[in-house]
């Protein structure tokens, strides 16, 4: 499947990109937002002194992952919160990064053929 073919990818009952082990770039305010939810966030290195952004590793699943009360699906409970980090708002469902996260977290079906990707056919 080409990277443009994103039709079947949905964030409903996924949260694969919000799990322990992922890395992300956040401002101090965004890092505080994630920590308020209970996320164990470890700074890896500073990236921009002027804007004080840094690369962090999630040492736990994001604390803002919750259950949709209607469906029981795993969702971001802060999806409509304007304080949600920029990296969260701009992570593209169906992108290669998304499908890699889904593959690593065992969220199926993703339509991502890891073997084809490793052969350079994706
Ligand atoms: S991995 Fe992709 S489909 Fe899953 S929550 Fe993240 S953006 Fe949505
Ligand atoms: S705030 Fe929401 S979208 Fe961002 S990492 Fe946490 S659960 Fe995922």
Query: What pLDDT score does 3 carry?
Result: 34
Q: Kindly state whether residue 9 falls inside one of the protein's structural domains.
A: no
98 lines ligand 1 (CB under 6 A): yes
Q: Which domain holds residue 61?
A: 16-118
- Give, for all 122 residues of the chain, the pLDDT tens digit: 333 344 578 888 899 999 999 999 999 999 999 999 999 999 998 887 777 789 999 999 999 999 999 989 999 999 999 999 999 999 999 888 898 898 888 886 555 566 776 777 65
Enter the DSSP assignment of 71.
Answer: T
Spell out the residues 6+ positions from residue 29 whose beta carbon is closer than 8 angstroms to its own: 83
- Looking at the CA of residue 95, tell me the nearest atom of ligand 1: 2
Q: Indicate whether 105 belongs to any domain.
A: yes
Does a structural domain hold residue 52? yes
Residue minimizing CA distance to atom 8 of ligand 2: 18
Which residues partner with 74 through β-bridges? 67
Count of domains for the chain: 1
Is 68 part of any domain?
yes
Q: What is the distance between the alpha carbons of residues 35 and 58, in angstroms, rounded to a whole number? A: 10
Model pLDDT for residues 55-83, shown as the tens digit of each residue: 999 999 999 999 999 989 999 999 999 99
Q: What is the token pair recorded at 34? A: 């994630």
Residue 7 belongs to a domain: no
Residue 8 domain flag: no
* CA 55/CA 25 separation, integer angstroms: 4
Tell me if 90 is assigned to some domain.
yes
Give me ligand 2 centre to Cα 84, in Å: 7
Which residues, listed in sequence order, are joined to residue 57 by a DSSP beta bridge? 23, 42
């Amino acid at each position: 499947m080409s990277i443009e073919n994103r039709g079947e990818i949905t964030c409903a009952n996924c949260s694969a990109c919000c799990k322990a082990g992922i890395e992300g770039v956040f401002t101090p305010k965004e890092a505080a937002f994630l920590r308020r939810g209970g996320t164990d966030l470890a700074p890896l290195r500073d990236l921009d002194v002027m804007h004080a952004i840094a690369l962090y590793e999630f040492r736990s699943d994001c604390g803002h992952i919750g259950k949709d009360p209607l469906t029981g699906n795993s969702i971001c409970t802060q999806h409509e919160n304007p304080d949600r980090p920029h990296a969260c708002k701009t992570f593209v469902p169906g992108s290669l990064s998304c499908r890699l996260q889904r593959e690593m977290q065992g969220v199926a079906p993703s339509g991502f053929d890891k073997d084809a990707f490793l052969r350079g056919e994706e």
